[in-house]
Structure 1
Amino acid sequence: MRSLRYSLPALLACALATVGMTGTAHAAPSAAATPVLSLSALGGPAANPGDLLTSSLTPGTTLSLTSTPSGGQGLFCQQSVWGGQLLANPPLPGPAVIRLLNPLTISACTDNSPTVTAVTGVAVSGLPQTLQVTGVGAFPLQLLPTSGPLQITVTLATTAAPSVVCTYQAPGPLTGNTALGSSPWRFVNQQFNLVSGPLPACGTTPNGFLTAAYSPVIDTTAGGANVFVN
């Protein structure tokens, strides 16, 4: 019995030490969560809020604004560039939030409508807009108005008049998607309404359907590193 009495305190001390070690292990900080947007590689360093981002049309593609979804008649442009500031880059699934800023440019355009002889200008207004990027599922994109609807104004020369102005407005948010990695950020057949300008110079319907893909997205603040969606 004497041996048991003397060993009991030691056993209690050992048990308490084990509990303390277990509690310490549970309290250890976990690895940093993966952000929606990283730099240079999947799972790479997080893109930092405040960074400036930019992107141009995916090489070999055009931006189109056609009278019908995926139609063959309308405006076709070889160049477009957007820029913005990353406001938030939370852990997956996000969304990350980008504030699109002026200017968003669309240029090098032609219009194959029968009465159009030239495209003399394209302007985008209604900025800033908020672009949300979600890193889950179909990797949705959503472009949300913050200061009014997104508007595209196209100035044309036609067989009937030297200058015809066609103004299109997005009736609400634009939706798109991307994919894992540095895949293009796509918007397909996003509807705009023709709010001013005559038919048929401004198309065969009072609508325009926008399709465009942008890649790569570049973080200019981080020395031009490509932006990846995780």
Structure 2
Amino acid sequence: MRNRTALALATTVAALSLLPVLPASAAAQDTNVLTTGSAAGTAVAVGDVLTAPLSSGTTATLYSSATGTSGVSCTTSQFTAAVTDNPASSGTATESVTAHTFSGCTSNVLGTLSVNSVTVNNLPYVTTVTSDGVVTVTPASSSTPIQTTVVLSTLLGTITCVYQASSITGTASNTDNSIAFTAQPFTKYSGSSLCFSAGYFTAKYAPVTDTTQSGSPSVFVN
């Protein structure tokens, strides 16, 4: 009886030794930071292009104070970014923002008649996205800041107001596949005294979609 038991154990050990040994990462692979279709869905491929318009019924604003309502408001805005890295959810995804546009803009600043243009300069920008939904936008080069140029028509003629920031931070939400920026501070770099002395950027973009993929599925953060 003991001989049979020993023989059975030896046979089992020999069989197990022939099984392939899988690395831990293959046995329990994390989901990626950015996925489409659902949370923990299909990983967004490096090189895919993501876009998002303003969330329906909202505006993008650059106000003169964090809590005020004086400044520039735009009814249309959209960003475009290419994914440059999308690691497992324990890491940080990165994107390159190649376009950020604004239109349908008006101003309620005293002395201004209309908004001729709002232009984002110094593109591309680098965007990082962490698994907890923190979105940070920084310049691609340390020698150039994030910059927005606002051209206004005023009672005294056309003026150009330039605002800069070293970085801005937003929050991603899987509830509506959005990215929201709230009162992100910019300083006035140049412009007439009619330009407000500081700008605070607020906007909510939704849904963020992967336009490279068929059907442009929504993007989730994990």
Tell whether the structures are fold-level matches, with TM greater than 0.5: yes
Matched, 1:228 2:220: yes
Q: Quick one: which amino acid aligns to residue 168 of structure 1? A: Y
2:112 match? 116
Say which of 162, 165, 181 aligns to 1:167. Answer: 162
Report matched runs for 1:133-144 at 5 Å: 133-136=129-132, 139-144=133-138
Matched, 1:130 2:108: no
Does the 8 Å contact 2:177/2:218 carry over to 1?
no
Gapped regions of structure 1 (runs ≥ 5): none
Q: How much does 1:13 deviate?
A: 3.6
User: How many angstroms apart in 2 are the aligned matches of 1:45 and 1:81?
Assistant: 24
Report matched runs for 1:62-77 at 5 Å: 62-77=59-74
Q: How much does 1:30 deviate?
A: 1.4
2:83 match? 86
Say which of 180, 191, 201 aligns to 1:197. Answer: 191
Does the 8 Å contact 1:154/1:167 carry over to 2?
yes
Report matched runs for 1:175-194 at 5 Å: 175-194=169-188
2:54 match? 57
How many residue pairs were aligned?
Answer: 216
Say which of 152, 158, 161 aligns to 1:156. Answer: 152
TM-score (norm 1): 0.86
User: How many angstroms apart in 2 are the aligned matches of 1:104 and 1:129?
Assistant: 10
Say which of 75, 99, 104 aligns to 2:100. Answer: 104
What is the SS of the residue equivalent to 2:173? coil
After superposition, what is the alpha-carbon deviation per residue over 1:69-108, rounded to whole angstroms, capped at 9, x for unaligned? 031100101111111111111111321111111x311111
Does the 8 Å contact 1:182/1:229 carry over to 2?
no
Aligned-pair Cα RMSD in Å:
2.0
User: How many angstroms apart in 2 are the aligned matches of 1:122 and 1:80?
Assistant: 10
Q: Quick one: which amino acid aligns to residue 182 of structure 2? A: V
After TM superposition, what 4+ stretches of structure 1 lie above 2 angstroms from structure 2?
A: 10-29, 179-183
Q: How much does 1:25 deviate?
A: 8.5
Matched, 1:43 2:43: no
Q: Identify the range of structure 1 (184-193 vs 28-37) with the bigger mean alpha-carbon deviation.
A: 28-37
2:27 match? 30
Does the 8 Å contact 2:177/2:219 carry over to 1?
no
After superposition, what is the alpha-carbon deviation per residue over 1:191-213, rounded to whole angstroms, capped at 9, x for unaligned? 111011122x212xx21011111
TM-score (norm 2): 0.89
What is the SS of the residue equivalent to 1:16? helix
What is the SS of the residue equivalent to 2:104? strand
User: How many angstroms apart in 1 are the aligned matches of 2:116 and 2:14?
Assistant: 75
- Structure ID, larger Rg: 1
What is the SS of the residue equivalent to 2:208? strand
Does the 8 Å contact 1:37/1:89 carry over to 2?
yes
Gapped regions of structure 2 (runs ≥ 5): none
User: How many angstroms apart in 2 are the aligned matches of 1:35 and 1:20?
Assistant: 37
Does the 8 Å contact 2:34/2:219 carry over to 1?
yes
